[in-house]
Chain A
Amino acid sequence: MIWVAAALLFWGMAWALNAWLARSRHSGLRAVRIAVPVIFGLTILVVWELLVRGLNVPLVILPPPTMIAATFGGNLAILWEDFVQTFLKGALSGYLIGCGAAVALAILIDRSPFLQKGLLPVGNFIAALPIIGTAPILVMWFGFDWQSKAAVVVVMVFFPMLVNTVQGLAASSAMQRDLMATYSASYWQTLLKLRLPAAMPFIFNGLKIASTLALIGAIVAEFFGSPVRGMGFRISTSVGQLALDMVWAEITVAALAGTLFYGTVALVERGVTFWHPSQRK
């Protein structure tokens, strides 16, 4: 009971601290803006730990964070192997192939308004479908190893990327294109110097959406069959063994990988599209 009371007390104190920080004069400071969500996150971890201990929650339902951290630290080799298999081999290669192919196709169909008018609604439609369902088919075709995971990722990222790139290539205004025409710029010069740079905010929007999809695709595809390593494989087998601390450790890896992946794309975006209003301070 003491643990539970401590959890409630800690929650109340942390929330009061956050409320005070948010209302204080310094709430605009960068340090405070970072501190408040960090305090909130830590509070959740502490309350989780205290409640699990206080209420004697069985380990097969919810392990406490300290135990997850211990499992994480104790199995770094396995987690790294899974990370390499699922993220570097499956997700990343599929991401590069899928996004590259989508941008290339978008540039190709960009010359034909007819194809654009046809592909854009179809692509939009397909982007909303549960494409993850193709995973069993692709696993059947490409085998259990990472190639099939990469194939799932290619299919998943292709259409969102295609739609965004086609929209981006149409983003430069008629005035700007006319200017290029008065310079007597060739098609490729206009593409490289005006239209692709103007499309970058859209392309990066697609790249960011695709970064999340890529990881999801690679993990879920492993539920349909995989070699004896990989994040999805580890999650599904550890769930079967009721080793939930391992599942949570793997989820932590997935969360870190997803956030870092997204963050990297966002960082590159800031460098490439520094001129765009959304990037201005």
Chain B
Amino acid sequence: MNRILPILSVVTAIIAFWYAAVVPMNIHGVLDQAERDGVVVVPGTAKARRDFASLGLVMLNPGQAAKSWMQERPRLPAPHQVAIELWQTTVEKKVTSKRSLVFHAWVTLSATLLGFAIGTGLGVLLAVGIVHNKAMDMSVMPWAIASQTIPILAIAPMVIVVLNSIGIQGLVPKAIISAYLSFFPVVVGMVAGLRSPDAMQLDLLKTYHASRAATFWKLRLPASMPYLFTSLKVGIAASLVGAIVGELPTGAVRGLGARLLTGSYYGQTVQIWSALMMAAICAAVLVGLIGLAQRLILQRMGMTGR
């Protein structure tokens, strides 16, 4: 209770702020509609209102404020509008329908998960190579670290279009971007993890005459787990962003990124916000699942997971 109460009040404050912000954001549109319906508004014409600040218009027309929460195409939809849209497009639509957000989320999630699996696998392999081969360490590691400062996402459109031109479409190009984005965090985290056993522990295994393979399986790999999970959480969030951005450049019709793009083309703000919420839910679930796996596995291994 001690922990939940502050979080709840912050979330409530955010939602309250959101509702309050909806009124000035939408007041222009509301007043235009009211004028067309024959209601007297101050000032009387759209042209005169354009020069007014939004807050001033709210003050002059307090009676119209409530309508700003139920516009069809608001500049900023109210939270309940987004929630209703989410409910209608997830629960009330068949999962196979093109209007179902579950369908679009699955399109994006499948690319995310495939890419994440590839990126993590290759990242762990490269990390093992780096730890065991000094030449590789010295030549690759600086680039892996430097690559984290580069906006890798900028190559997403190119990857999509180039693969498209040689006939690869759909899931794979997006997965490649996802893989690329999750690859470097995993490499850097895993190298740090495999190096985390201290000299004392390594010396002990040496006195046991343990082979390099045995040292790897019995000491380095278990010791790297906390580091691995931390970078997996970063990696899966990056993978999801990669899959969403990967859907933008080709004008894809399926996936959360496509929902964002079509929403912004046709001014369907409620659709954008619901796609955004769905992406947030996906990210939260994915990161949460990895956190859960982290807790369970580290507990089972006798490490205090955090």
Which residues in chain B, 240-254, are within 8 Å of chain A measured between CB atoms? 240-241, 244-245, 248-249
- Is B6's CB under 8 angstroms from A115's CB? yes
B131 located at the interface, meaning its Cβ lies under 8 Å from any Cβ of chain A in the complex: no
CA of A263 to CA of B145 in the docked complex: distance in angstroms? 12
Cβ contact within 8 Å between A133 and B3: no
Identify which of A19, A132, A225, A232 contacts B241 (C-beta below 8 A). Answer: A132
Contact mask for chain A residues 212-254; partner B; CB cutoff 8 A; 1 contact, 0 none: 1001100110011100000110011001101010010011001
- B179 CB-CB contact with A under 8 Å: no
Contact A232 B154, beta carbon cutoff 8 Å: yes
Given A22-B134, A136-B272: A130 and B283 within 8 A (CB)? yes
Q: A118-B6, A128-B284 are in contact. Are A140 and B149 (CB under 8 A)?
A: no
Q: Please state if A258 and B151 are interface contacts (CB–CB under 8 Å).
A: yes
Which listed residue (A33, A41, A122, A140) contacts B264, Cβ 8 A?
A140
> Cα distance A244–B158 when bound, in Å?
8
Task: Give the chain B neighbours of A223 by CB distance below 8 A.
Answer: 157, 245, 248-249
In the bound complex, CA of A62 to CA of B158 (Å): 10
Q: Assuming the A-B contacts A117-B3, A219-B151, are A141 and B75 also in contact, with contact meaning beta carbons closer than 8 angstroms in the complex?
A: yes
User: In the complex the two chains form, is A125's CB within 8 Å of B162's CB?
Assistant: no
CA distance A33 to B75 in the complex (A): 55
User: How far is A259 from B152 in the complex, measured between Cα atoms in Å?
Assistant: 12
Using an 8 Å CB-CB cutoff, how does the interface string of B206-250 with A read, 1 for contact, 0 for none? 000000000000000000000000000100010011001100110
Measured between C-beta atoms, what is the minimum distance from B267 to chain A in Å? 8
Q: Which residues of A contact B143 (CB under 8 A)?
A: 37, 40-41
14 additional contacts, CB 8 Å, given A133-B279, A140-B75, A244-B162? A15-B135, A33-B138, A36-B139, A118-B9, A122-B10, A130-B279, A137-B273, A140-B264, A212-B151, A219-B154, A235-B157, A239-B161, A251-B154, A254-B150
Q: Which 10 A-B pairs have the closest CB atoms?
A: A118-B6, A40-B139, A136-B264, A118-B10, A262-B149, A117-B6, A22-B135, A19-B135, A37-B142, A36-B138
Interface residues of B (CB under 8 A from A): 2-3, 6-11, 14, 75, 134-135, 137-143, 146, 148-151, 153-155, 157-158, 161-162, 165-166, 233, 237, 240-241, 244-245, 248-249, 256, 260-261, 263-264, 267, 269, 272-273, 275-276, 279-280, 283-284, 287
Residues of A within 8 A of B (CB): 15, 18-19, 21-23, 27, 33, 36-37, 39-41, 60-62, 114-119, 121-122, 125, 128-130, 132-137, 139-141, 211-212, 215-216, 219-220, 223-225, 231-232, 235-236, 239-240, 242, 244, 247, 250-251, 254-255, 258-259, 261-263
Report 25 cross-chain contacts, Cβ distance below 8 Å, ordered by A residue: A15-B135, A36-B139, A37-B141, A62-B162, A114-B6, A115-B10, A116-B6, A117-B2, A122-B11, A122-B14, A128-B283, A129-B237, A130-B283, A133-B256, A133-B260, A134-B276, A136-B264, A137-B276, A141-B75, A215-B151, A224-B261, A236-B157, A247-B157, A251-B154, A261-B149
